[in-house]
Structures are given as C-alpha cells and as structure tokens.
Amino acid sequence: MRKEVDLMLFDFDGTLVDTAADLACAVNHALEKLNLPPKPEIQIIGYVGDGVRQLISRAIGEANADSIDTALGHFTEYYGDHLLDKSTLYPHVKETLDYFSMKKKVILTNKRLRFTKIIADALGITPYFDDMVGADSTPYLKPDPRIVDYVLLRHGAARDRTVIIGDGTNDVAVARNAGVSCAALLNGLGAREALLTMKPDFCCESLLEIQSIFY
C-alpha cells in the first residue's frame, strides 16, 4: 500500500550523489600530510555518516587524536578543490525528483552545507529542492531528532506525512527518533546488512523504487 507524504527529506552522500572516490582521496591526502599510511576506499567509506570530524577522527585513529584539527584542515582544503573530480549522481535521481515535483523536498545531510551546495549546483539538482540543511546549519546532526524537528517547523510539515530517504543507519535512526517514516536505500555508501538489521519502514534497491511507495 502506497503512503501519502507532503515532505521528503533526502540524505546526500550515498543517496543522491556517489561521493565515495572524492571523499576517500581527500582523507588519504590528509593521512599523507600526517605521514600516515593510506587506507582503502571501502574502509574510509565505512567511516562516513557522522560528519567530517568523526570521519577524520576514525581515519587517523586514537593514537593520532591530537592531530585531528591539522588533519581536518588538510582534508577541507583538498576536498574543496577536488569534490567534483569523480562524484556523480546515482541512477534515476533527476527522474525521481522530477516525479515528485509537487512535493516539498529538502536535502538533510551531515555533510557541511557549503560542500553540499557546490556539488548539488554542479550536478544540476539544486532547483529540485526547497531547502538544504547541512552539518553546520543547526547545532544538531543526525540521528538527533531535533534536526528533523527543525525542518518540520521550518516547512510546516506533519510528522505522519514526512519521510526520510537515505542510505545510512543514521537516516533510519533519526527517522525513528523523530517519529517520521524512513525509506532505506540498500545500494548506497551505507552498510546493507546494518540497514536491514534496523528494520526500516521501507527498503529500496534504487531510488526509482520510492515512486511506487510514496505519492
């Protein structure tokens, strides 16, 4: 049975845009600057989802915790110049966003807003969205439900008519914490089995499937 919604909150990395390669290169650049060995892309992507500071903290390890600000600076400088080297839209993104053209849509991400906007502009999806909320837009990050409360209040939406679409466990967790629906994308950057274990309201192999779930 299809579910009617008024507000659709989309995660960014791993949901709309495949940013894996550019993120991994930027992290390895920061590691190189600290004379630390590089890490495989798949390992770095496992660190994504809780904001850039956590990403860098996990990449450099506890033994190098005192260098986190230095590493973060190296990452930020490099990523700002290289965030569009390889990043691309996932299949069916524009098609799906166009399908839901009459719905209010917001990007809700733990990525910094400046980088989110640059990528969204370059890949041509900014016009599809009514708003973008990033890691530095509020004091809160997913899975803190207050970030969803902020968006609901900002856009006058009801919880029972709101859905979060994302590929990470934080997307499922924040939806559950905030009392809204969640559709988990199983082929993004997030760990598939971890998502399934959380038993989200809906599971999708691709973004295209949400067209048959929501209206």
* HSE (side-chain half, CA atoms, 13 Å) at 164: 32
Give residue for tokens 């502009």: 121
Residue 134's CB is within 10 A of a number of other CB atoms, namely 20
Token reading at 22: 């550019």
d(CA 162, CA 105): 10
| pLDDT greater than 90 at residue 1 | no
Where on the phi/psi map is residue 67: left (φ > 0), alpha (ψ -120 to 50), or beta?
A: alpha
Per residue in 64-80, pLDDT (tens digit) is 999 999 999 999 999 99
Per residue in 171-208, pLDDT (tens digit) is 999 999 999 999 999 999 999 999 999 999 999 999 99
Catalytic residue among 11, 18, 22, 171: 11
Residue 165's CB is within 10 A of a number of other CB atoms, namely 26
- Residue 13 designated active-site: no
Per residue in 80-129, pLDDT (tens digit) is 999 999 999 999 999 999 999 999 999 999 999 999 999 999 999 999 99
Q: Are 132 and 107 in contact (CB under 8 A)?
A: yes
